[in-house]
């Protein structure tokens, strides 16, 4: 599903109301679920730079407890690379759909599979580097399978960034596409998104046969929300609950997300 399709689905969903609270743990822990967690803006507070984030010890401990209780059916679904995921969540090594699903790590931390798509061409990365270097406040993040331009420290450049990157991708990388996010524009392989990754993971043990609960905050998470909804699961938007979204539930901010995880872990 493309970004325009996800946006259309969000508009067609009943977005005139704020999403309701996500399901709380019923009497007895809900062992039949599978948890899918975005990181930045969901479990983690946003930071000025991608490397500036950290997780609270309480949230990290809760994630560890939940992963064990769910027999491994807890995955990270993120635009970050696997190395970043492991650094942030150390010592945990969880199943993950990294780089929007371009990298998939199965349960047990073993074999990593890739989506079979190449990284953005070197000439595109070089052109983006030159564009960023000429504009103070922009930052280039080369993730391998994707590349991102952050404008958190220069929000007035948003229109310029989107327009120029769109031109460069059309000229130099037709097999890739733009993925807008919070103060970032990412270039990723076409057709590679979090929804496809969630469905791939749900087809395998230990996720197969469970009910997916997806938590995220950004436009990139709309694909995963839609996938969870399609599978009869739960979709939870963190933060901007007033924006159009296919998510059916909401939590106010990452603090509320972390508190929810801690409470669910206590129920376990």
Q: What residues act catalytically?
A: 38
Whole-number Å distance between alpha carbons of 266 and 263? 5
Give strand pairing partners of 250: 237
Task: Yes or no: say if 81 and 98 are a contact pair by the CB < 8 Å rule.
Answer: yes
Q: CA-CA distances (angstroms) from residue 162 to 44, 136, 177, 181?
A: 25, 16, 12, 11
Whole-number Å distance between alpha carbons of 171 and 258? 42
Burial bucket for residue 97 (CB in 10 Å: 0-12, 13-18, 19+): buried
Q: What is the secondary structure of 229-264 as a DSSP string?
A: HHTT-EEEEES-TTS--S-SEEESSHHHHHHHHHHH
Give strand pairing partners of 7: none
């Amino acid at each position: 599903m493309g970004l325009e399709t996800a946006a259309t689905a969000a508009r067609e969903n009943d977005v005139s109301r704020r999403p309701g609270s996500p399901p709380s743990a019923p009497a007895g822990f809900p062992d039949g679920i599978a948890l899918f967690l975005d990181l930045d803006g969901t479990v983690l507070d946003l930071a000025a730079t991608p490397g500036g984030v950290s997780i609270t010890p309480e949230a990290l401990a809760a994630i560890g407890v939940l992963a064990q209780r769910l027999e491994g059916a807890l995955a990270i679904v993120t635009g970050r690379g696997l190395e970043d995921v492991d650094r942030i969540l150390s010592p945990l090594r969880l199943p993950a759909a990294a780089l929007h699903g371009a990298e998939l790590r199965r349960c047990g931390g073993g074999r990593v599979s890739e989506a079979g798509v190449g990284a953005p061409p070197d000439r595109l990365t070089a052109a983006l580097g030159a564009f960023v270097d000429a504009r103070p406040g922009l930052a280039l993040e080369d993730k391998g399978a994707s590349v991102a331009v952050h404008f958190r420290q220069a929000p007035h450049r948003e229109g310029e960034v989107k327009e120029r990157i769109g031109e460069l991708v059309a000229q130099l990388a037709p097999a890739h596409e733009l993925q807008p996010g919070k103060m970032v524009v990412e270039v990723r392989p076409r057709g590679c998104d979090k929804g496809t990754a969630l469905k791939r993971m749900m087809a395998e043990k230990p996720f197969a046969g469970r009910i997916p609960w997806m938590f995220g905050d950004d436009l990139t998470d709309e694909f995963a929300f839609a996938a969870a909804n399609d599978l009869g699961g739960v979709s939870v938007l963190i933060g901007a609950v007033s924006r159009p979204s296919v998510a059916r539930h909401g939590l106010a901010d990452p603090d509320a997300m972390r508190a929810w995880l801690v409470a669910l872990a206590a129920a376990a």
